[in-house]
C-alpha cells in the first residue's frame, strides 16, 4: 500500500486520526531512561491509538551520533509494528542536494515513509521529493501554513496568484492525480489556525493535511473539524509534548498512553465519528 492508503487503513481499523510526535529531550527523562528507552516505550504504549508516528529529526541530531542511532532504531521499530512514519526534517534544497535528501529519507531503508518538506526555495526544489514519493509509495508534506506565530511574515505575502501559501497549495494540487484518492503530496497546516482550516481544506481536496500544534502550542481538537472530509477523513492531527511528556516521572509511558487515548477520542468527537471500544 502507499503511505496514504496505510494511513487510511489505520484510521478505519483503529478509529484514530492522531499522530504521535517524538521530540525527545533527555534532560526531561527519569533517571536511568535513555533516549532509545524513552522513545521505544512511548511508541509501544501509544501505538494502538495512533495512525502515524512523527519523529522530529532535530531532537535526535542534537544528541549527536547516539541520537541518530536512536532515530534509526525508532524507524526500525515503526516498520516492525507497521505504523506509518512521518519523518519531520523539513528538508529543502536545490538540484542534486534535494535528490540526496530524498534518497536519505524516502528511498532504500526508508522507502514508503513520509517526509516534511520546505518548498520555499521554489517549485523545482520540491520535485525530487515528489518523484521519490511517487516511485517509492511514500509521501511528502509541504509546509503551507505553519503553526508558529511568525508564519504569516512570508506565507501571507500577496502575489499575482494569491498569497504565498495559496501558491504552494496550488503546486500540491497539481502533483496529486485526479480520481486516485489522496495523493502523495500532503500539506502542513497548523492546528493553531482554526479559522483558516476550511479554506485550506477547499484548496487541497486531494491532499492529506498534517495538523501540528495541538497541546503545548495551544491547538485544540474541538477546533479542527473543518480540516476533515466527511467521516473524519483527510487529516492527521499531530501531538508531541502533550503526549510524549504527559508525565516526566517513571510512569511516563502510562501517562503517554492515557493522553493519546484522550486525544484520539477528542478528535473523533470533533469529527463526529464513533471511537471504537
Would you name the residues annotated as active-site residues? 90
CA angle 212, 86, 255 (to 5 degrees): 65
User: What gap in Å lies between CA 85 and CA 181, rounded to an integer?
Assistant: 20
User: What gap in Å lies between CA 162 and CA 159, rounded to an integer?
Assistant: 5
| Residue reference for cell 522507502 | 111
User: What gap in Å lies between CA 213 and CA 220, rounded to an integer?
Assistant: 8
Task: Please answer whether residues 244 and 24 qualify as being in contact, where contact means their C-beta atoms are separated by less than 8 angstroms.
Answer: yes
Give the three-state DSSP class for 24. coil
Q: Which residues have a Cβ under 8 Å from the Cβ of 128 and sit 6 or more positions away?
A: 98, 99, 101, 102
User: What gap in Å lies between CA 18 and CA 4, rounded to an integer?
Assistant: 14
Q: Which residues have a Cβ under 8 Å from the Cβ of 154 and sit 6 or more positions away?
A: 120, 164
Amino acid at each position: 500500500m502507499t503511505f496514504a492508503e496505510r494511513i487510511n487503513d489505520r484510521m478505519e481499523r483503529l478509529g484514530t486520526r492522531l499522530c504521535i510526535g517524538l521530540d525527545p529531550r533527555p534532560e526531561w527523562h527519569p533517571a536511568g531512561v535513555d533516549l532509545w528507552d524513552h522513545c521505544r516505550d512511548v511508541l509501544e504504549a501509544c501505538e494502538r491509538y495512533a495512525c502515524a508516528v512523527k519523529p522530529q529529526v532535530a531532537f535526535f541530531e542534537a544528541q549527536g551520533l547516539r541520537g541518530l542511532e536512536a532515530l534509526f532504531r525508532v524507524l526500525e521499530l515503526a516498520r516492525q509494528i507497521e505504523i506509518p512514519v512521518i519523518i519531520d526534517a523539513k528538508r529543502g534544497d536545490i538540484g542534486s542536494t534535494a535528490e540526496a535528501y530524498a534518497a536519505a529519507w524516502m528511498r532504500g531503508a526508508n522507502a514508503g515513509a513520509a517526509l516534511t518538506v520546505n518548498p520555499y526555495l521554489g517549485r523545482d526544489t520540491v520535485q525530487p521529493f515528489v518523484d521519490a514519493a511517487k516511485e517509492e509509495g511514500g509521501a511528502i508534506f509541504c509546509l503551507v501554513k505553519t503553526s508558529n506565530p511568525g508564519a504569516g511574515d512570508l506565507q501571507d505575502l500577496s502575489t499575482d496568484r494569491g498569497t504565498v501559501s495559496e501558491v504552494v497549495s496550488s503546486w500540491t494540487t497539481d502533483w496529486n492525480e485526479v480520481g486516485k484518492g489522496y495523493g502523495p503530496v500532503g500539506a502542513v497546516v497548523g492546528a493553531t489556525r482554526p479559522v483558516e482550516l476550511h479554506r485550506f481544506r477547499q484548496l487541497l481536496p486531494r491532499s492529506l493535511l498534517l495538523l501540528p500544534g495541538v497541546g503545548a502550542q495551544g491547538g485544540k481538537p474541538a477546533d479542527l473539524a473543518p480540516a476533515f472530509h466527511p467521516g473524519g477523513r483527510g487529516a492527521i492531527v499531530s501531538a508531541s509534548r502533550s503526549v510524549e511528556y504527559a508525565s516526566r516521572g517513571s510512569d511516563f509511558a502510562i501517562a503517554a498512553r492515557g493522553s493519546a487515548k484522550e486525544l484520539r477520542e477528542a478528535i473523533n468527537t470533533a469529527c463526529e465519528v464513533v471511537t471504537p471500544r
